[in-house]
Amino acid sequence: MLSVSSRDFLKLPIKEFIIPSEKVAHVQLGNNTEHALLVLTKTGYSSIPVLDMRYRMHGMISVQQITDEILGLDRIEYERLDSIKVDEVMTRDFVKINERDTFQRALDLLINHPYVCVVGDEDTFLGIMTRRVVMKQLKKQLYLSLD
């Protein structure tokens, strides 16, 4: 049974748990997939957001999507990377969340997604909410409830 404080906790706005945009690795629309693969490999993340020059959110791109795109019959065709744009490969079907949304909404979404993008007006990218952050907060809350 949830304690009252846990119920209140679930209703908290996500604002204070967001990883802010300036700390999130991203690529831009129009970048080629060679650049995207470089950013993904250097940062170690498997998927990152795709933004435009005005920092609006357009999609997400992953290592898996890129390698899938250049998979030939019996080899990976790396030489094609510079001619394929991020826009051609990224997924536009992504989950977004508002900074006024509750922790509970983020928790529900993060069951099926490793991270969700937080957007403001006109899809302006504000940052991400990740499973790791949610797990850390849940752990804190659980330990508090045991005291």
Binding positions for ligand 2BA, rule: CB under 6 A: 19, 23-25, 43-48, 114-115, 128, 130-132
State the nearest-atom distance from the C-beta of 41 to ligand 2BA, in Å. Answer: 11
Q: What share of the chain is helix, strand, coil (3-state, %, to 5)?
A: 50, 25, 25
How far is Cα 67 from Cα 73, in angstroms, rounded to an integer? 13
State the nearest-atom distance from the C-beta of 24 to ligand 2BA, in Å. Answer: 4
Nearer to ligand 2BA, 80 or 131 (CB): 131
State the nearest-atom distance from the C-beta of 69 to ligand 2BA, in Å. Answer: 18
Q: Which helix (H) or strand (E) holds 109?
A: helix 103-110
Nearer to ligand 2BA, 64 or 145 (CB): 64
**36: number of CA atoms within 13 Å, CB side?**
34
State the nearest-atom distance from the C-beta of 113 to ligand 2BA, in Å. Answer: 8
Nearer to ligand 2BA, 38 or 80 (CB): 38
Nearer to ligand 2BA, 81 or 128 (CB): 128
Take residue 70 and report the two structure tokens written for it. 């250049």
How far is Cα 80 from Cα 86, in angstroms, rounded to an integer? 12
| Amino acid letter, 129 | M
